[in-house]
Amino acid sequence: MNKSLWWFKLTSVCFFLALSFASAAGQDTISIKFDIEKEGKIIDSLDKEFAKHFLNGDSAAIYSMYARDAKFEDLKGAEILQSWGKHIRNSIAMDSRNLVFTMTCLSTDLEYLVELGIYEFQDSNGATKYKGKYCVIWKQENGMWKMFRNMGL
């Protein structure tokens, strides 16, 4: 038997079995269209909104960007609100209120978006005071992307 024909048959059988197992497990095999570029623009605008709230000292607005069951590092619920209040007060004292996010990667499993990037705290003159990496897992809640998990790396 021709080697390439044999590989084609083997690949076809494996593909058929994978589809059969997915159907048997109750998974939907219909392709779902997901525009990662469009969602990336939405996440980028949410990052800018977050930075604006931080600059304005509005920890309540930041907290409203989190999902109901969210975690920030190992904090949850009202602890997240208190933590951002503390971060804002520290940034005022250290003249580092300008927060800039640079998304470096965005991926999805069609339920969550995983954003990786670099954050930068800048002083009032635009000089970098502190820089680090972050990971945010976004999920939809009432049709809007909300932070589900948020951590520095």
Q: Do 24 and 38 belong together in one domain?
A: no
- Alpha carbon distance 64, 20 (integer Å): 43
What sign does the CA torsion over 126, 84, 150, 43 have? negative
| Together in a domain, 36 and 1 | no
Condensed to tens digits (0 to 9), the pLDDT of residues 57-70 reads 999 999 999 999 99
CB neighbourhood size of 68 (10 A): 10
Instruction: Indicate whether 74 pLDDT > 50.
Output: yes
Distances (CA, A) of 86 to 57, 59, 91, 124: 10, 9, 9, 19
Q: Can you give the residue range of the structural domain that contains 21?
A: 1-30
Is a pLDDT exceeding 70 seen at residue 4?
no
Helix H or strand E segment including 86: helix 78-93
Whether residue 26 is found in the same domain as residue 37: no
Q: How many CB atoms lie within 10 A of CB 150?
A: 20
Answer yes or no: do 24 and 84 share one domain.
no
DSSP, res 146: E
**Number of folded domains that form the chain:** 2
Q: Sorting pLDDT into bands at 50, 70 and 90, what band is 141?
A: very high
Tell whether 114 and 39 lie within a shared domain.
yes
Q: 118 and 66 in one domain? A: yes
Let me know: does 150 contact 70? Beta carbons within 8 Å. Answer: yes
SS3 64: coil
pLDDT over 90 (residue 27): no
Residues 119 and 63 in one domain: yes
Confidence of residue 22 (pLDDT cuts 50, 70, 90): very low
Identify the weakest region by mean pLDDT among 28-42, 86-100, 102-116, 130-144. Answer: 28-42
Give the CATH number of the domain where residue 48 resides. Answer: 3.10.450.50
Asked if residue 53 and residue 13 are part of one domain, the reply reads no
- Summarize the confidence of residues 39-48 as an average pLDDT: 97
Q: Are residues 79 and 129 in the same domain?
A: yes
Same domain, 90 and 104: yes
Distance CA 108, CA 123 (A): 34
Task: Output the pTM of the full model.
Answer: 0.78
Check pLDDT > 90 for residue 49.
yes
Higher pLDDT, residue 60 or 27 = 60
pLDDT higher than 80, residue 11: no
CB 96 within 8 A of CB 116: no
What's the confidence (pLDDT) of residue 34?
78
pLDDT digits (tens, 9 = 90+) for 78-111: 999 999 999 999 999 999 999 999 999 999 998 9
Question: Is the domain of 26 the same as that of 38?
Answer: no
Query: Same structural domain for residues 9 and 47?
Result: no
